[in-house]
Amino acid sequence: MLTIDIITVVPDLLEGPFSHSIMKRAQDKGLLTVRTHNLRKWAINKHAQVDDYPFGGGAGMVLMCEPLANAIEELQLNNTYDAIIYMTPDGKTFDQPMANQLSMLQNLLIICGHYKGIDQRIRDQYITMEISIGDYVLSGGELAAAVVVDAIGRLIPGVLSDETSALTDSFQDNLLAPPVYTRPADFRGMKVPEILLQGDPKKVEDWRFEQSVERTKTRRPDLFKED
């Protein structure tokens, strides 16, 4: 059972991603709980202010210390977090080993920045892990958080109906997944590889492994160099 709290200034952005398909099923089965918290609940004044101009000048707004500290501390009263994660393009790049590790934890708190990010003192004081989903800049951490929660959520035991299917994903062995086919066996003259139709599980397994290696060599040779 994994519980994920997410602090955001745009909770609406996180409505859709967890309300369908596998993430919905994970929550319906009681294996995953995702709760979003609107940072404005901890705003410093009646104008719902949560951000301010950066000291030293420059473009963009910065999420202030006080609302974030109060939000984190209030949530900590009822939860002991295994990790307090800040989504940021200067964090560690998210990958499958990180997803595997996070899926084994019980309580996560994810902070989404917006505008120019959050006050550095919050990062210094509360954040235990900083995650980027890639070398590009999004307008906020919400979509990145949705990516991370989805990748973690599907790895929780019991979430995928076929227990082995997460193990055969791309990246699980530093290999890309092999090609897949479904009916019909002949689509406009394009045929499914014979070996998949013959019903010999050992041959299918060998073929898939070869295809995985071939794909990885041509598309992601860098994966062979890792670990």
The reply on whether position 34 binds ligand ADE by CB under 6 A is no
Candidates 56, 77, 124, 137: give the one binding ligand ADE (CB under 6 A). 137
Distance of CA 152 to the CA centre of its chain: 6
Contact call for residue 60 and ligand ADE (CB under 6 A)? no
Q: Is 122 in the site for ligand ADE (CB under 6 A)?
A: no
8 lies in the site for ligand ADE, by CB under 6 A: no
Tokens 């990958």 found at: 95
The yes or no reply on residue 138 touching ligand ADE (CB under 6 A) is yes
Structure-block tokens of residue 7 = 């602090």
Give me the least distance between CB of 93 and ligand ADE, in Å please: 9
Residue 85 bridge partners (DSSP): 110, 129
Stretch that binds ligand ADE, among 38-46, 76-84, 99-107, 136-144 (CB under 6 A): 136-144
Binder of ligand ADE out of 133, 160, 166, 175 (CB under 6 A): 133
Cis link prior to 184 (omega < 30° from 0)? yes
DSSP string, 152-185: HHTTSTTSSSSTTGGGGSTTTTSSPPPP---S-S
60: tokens are 């963009």
**What residues make contact with ligand ADE under the rule CB under 6 A?**
87-89, 113, 132-134, 136-138, 141, 144
